[in-house]
Structure 1
Amino acid sequence: MLSQHIERIRSGQVFAFPTDTVYGLGVSFLIPEADKQLFALKRRNPQKALSVYVSSLEELEYVAQRRLGEASIKIAQKFLPGPLTLITKHNNPRFSQKTLGFRIVEHPIVKQIIQEVGPLLATSANVSGFPSAVSSDEVKQDFPEKDILVISGTCSIGLESTVVDAEERIIYREGVVSAAEIEDVLQAKCTCSPRSQSFRESIRIYVVKNHVDLSSFLSAKLAFKGVICQHPQPCTFYSVLRQALRSSTQEVIFVYDEKNTEYPVLSRFLGASYDSGYAL
């Protein structure tokens, strides 16, 4: 039961929790210098931004200590709650960074924690060099013997949120919400940062359209000893990548046809043939 964990979270316990996208590593926003605990656990540069999980736009503006701009309101009204991180300027003296990232999610566990504890400071629950965790077991693999309260649950989507600064028209990460959807709401073109993930240099990802192409690929590469994923889904995509990273060759091949799939969102995370050896 989640209720038995609330007091520990309220007192400052670092905890891992499922969201709509991937697992988060969080701590109560109300704990002084709580962010230092997260930076220490992830060995992350303190200048890197954390996300603030809030329950509403009103709470967002309270934490930011400023009103949202017109473009941010348009994006928030369209996509929040949802798989989007909204970057905005703030006047909160607690943070040295000029901007903060905010999330409002439609996930029962996150909603209950915020309702009982207040806003949360969070980052993705994974170690450097691995994709984001999407299960409690993966969190435990990444942080063995660490003093982290791991809350079990399901990440309904399993892919990362889109990170956007609506006022500056910058998409820092194109995730579940597409750049085209953002631009349609803003009625303006946005600058899109290239995808940058720390594990991309460690893994080789191949994509073929069908099982005939898979057979041709395996015949041409007899030495392939990596992971084969014949039915990729968003909710298991990162788990497959993590499995491949732990394999001897750190390779994975996906059977995926972007023109004939029920999961078109994966096209943004794949999108190249095995001829090019696309590395995420």
Structure 2
Amino acid sequence: METKIFQVEELKEAAGLLRQGELIAFPTETVYGLGADALLPEAVKKVFAVKGRPSDNPLIVHIANFSMTEKFVENYHPLTEKIVEAFWPGPLTLIFPIKKGSLSPVVTGGLSTAAFRMPDNKKTLTLIEETGDPLVGPSANTSGKPSPTTASHVYHDLKGRIAGILDDGATQIGVESTVLDLSGEVPTILRPGAVTKELLEDTLGIEVPLDKHLVKESETPKAPGMKYKHYSPDTPVLMVKSNDWAKALAWAVAENKSYGLLATPKIAEQYASTTRFVFADDSIEAATRGLFSGLRALDEGESVDLIFAEVFPEDHLGLAYMNRLKKAAAQKYFEV
């Protein structure tokens, strides 16, 4: 199969292919998604097959406007309107209880809930409108590997296996959306993202708990990205705390291990390495935007035995960054 790169003037053609059950990757402000018509179970099954994704892992349903949820949602949490007005379109996924039979179990992972998101990308919102149905949209990459933040990442992983990619350059945020569970009484974060715990609490005026439960391989997750290990390159990753860089690099030299650095300019300037991916600046925003690109670049470039990655405080956006990095590193820090 030829994988076509679609431009904005070719949206109708891409939408036509989606209606025929083909797969089209699409851009969002977070990462690129692998699109299939959410109402065509056989097309959705292709998503799992192409990604190599476990079939019990539920998919996020991408919509172009709030009214598209009404066909599926059984009842809305009392805070839904306030949340939607504040954060949609944007990097926030909401989980609702759904009407029985309204979505295929292939989409929901067999759960009585489903996840919905309105991405903040005009090209993709138009693509959904042109298709006429919501689109499932897990990250457009091989399952378990770093998520794609450019069309070229998608092409690298899925060329010849999907019909096309809607290109809109690099994503702005770089990690997947926050997932907020609204199927119970208390809104609960299942996956941190750019809509932070602090931002939700400021907007809603209530405490919003973070579910820190990590799902084992034998469990069915309620939202994507809840496994212990995820977003992982083939090269082992070790997280390095700020005071451990000198010891980590000395250990690698003593063990005759080649390494790459994934770090801010502040760290990269202090510790030499011929193989490195340096974030655009020292901010958590730059680190989050560059995390998946950096993991991919170090994994696919010059061969190294391991990747040393910089850590950040686990608050605000740093919580989302560390959530992904911990899973990419299988929870492992460098330890003396």
TM range (shorter): 0.7 to 0.9
Separation in 2, partners of 1:220, 1:129: 28
- 1:127 equivalent to 2:142? Answer yes
Deviation at 1:151, TM superposition (A): 1.9
List per-residue Cα deviations over 1:15-53 (Å, max 9, x = no partner). Answer: 111111001001123435331121221222333211111
Structure 2 counterpart of 1:160, which letter? E
Measure the CA separation in 1 of the matches of 2:233 and 2:174. Answer: 22
Superposition TM-score, scaled by structure 1 size: 0.82
The DSSP-based 3-state class of the residue aligned with 1:140 is helix
Change in Cα spacing, 1:189 to 1:106, as seen in structure 2 (3 Å) is: closer
Amino acid at match of 2:70: E
Q: Is the 8 A contact 1:20 1:155 kept in 2?
A: yes
What do residues 201-251 of structure 1 show as CA deviations (whole Å, max 9, x unaligned)? 9632334549xx755653454245222234332222111112334443131
Alignment of 1:79-158 (within 5 A): 79-93=87-101, 94-96=103-105, 97-118=111-132, 119-153=134-168, 154-158=170-174
> Where does residue 9 of structure 1 map in the other structure?
18
Query: Counterparts of 1:56-75 in structure 2 under 5 Å?
Result: 56-62=65-71, 64-75=72-83
The residue number in structure 2 matching 1:27 is: 36
Moved more, 176-185 or 7-16: 176-185
- Asked if the contact 1:134–1:155 (Cα under 8 Å) also holds between the matched residues in 2, the reply is yes
Cα distance in structure 2, aligned partners of 1:200 and 1:8: 31
Given the alignment of the two structures, is residue 218 of structure 1 paired with residue 218 of structure 2, yes or no? no
Q: Determine whether 1:206 maps to 2:220.
A: no
2:180 aligns to what SS in structure 1? strand
Within 5 Å, which residues of 2 pair with 1:162-241?
A: 162-168=178-184, 169-184=187-202, 185=204, 187-194=206-213, 196=227, 197-199=229-231, 203-207=236-240, 209=242, 214=245, 217-222=248-253, 223-231=256-264, 232=279, 233=286, 234-241=288-295
Mapped partners of 1:230, 1:44: distance in 2: 30
One-letter amino acid of the structure 1 residue matched with residue 200 of structure 2: I
Number of aligned positions between the proteins: 269
Aligned mates of 1:192, 1:60 — CA distance in 2:
25
Structure 2: gaps of 5 or more residues: 1-6, 106-110, 214-225, 265-278, 280-285, 326-330
Q: Deviations over 1:118-144 (max 9, x none)?
A: 221221112123111111111122224
Cα shift at 1:192: 1.4
CA RMSD of aligned residues (A): 3.0
Write out the 4+ residue segments of structure 1 that deviate beyond 4 Å after TM superposition: 199-202, 213-217, 256-259
Q: Secondary structure at the match of 1:70?
A: coil
Q: TM-score of the superposition, structure 2-length normalised?
A: 0.69
The one-letter code sitting in structure 2 at the alignment partner of 1:103 is: R
* SS of structure 1 residue aligned to 2:79: helix
- Mapped to 2, the partners of 1:176 and 1:25 lie a distance apart of 20
Q: Contact between 1:218 and 1:224, CA under 8 Å: does it hold in 2? A: no
Tell me which residue corresponds to 1:270. 322
Question: Gaps spanning 5+ residues in structure 1: where?
Answer: none
Cα 1:208–1:193 shift into 2, 3 Å:
closer
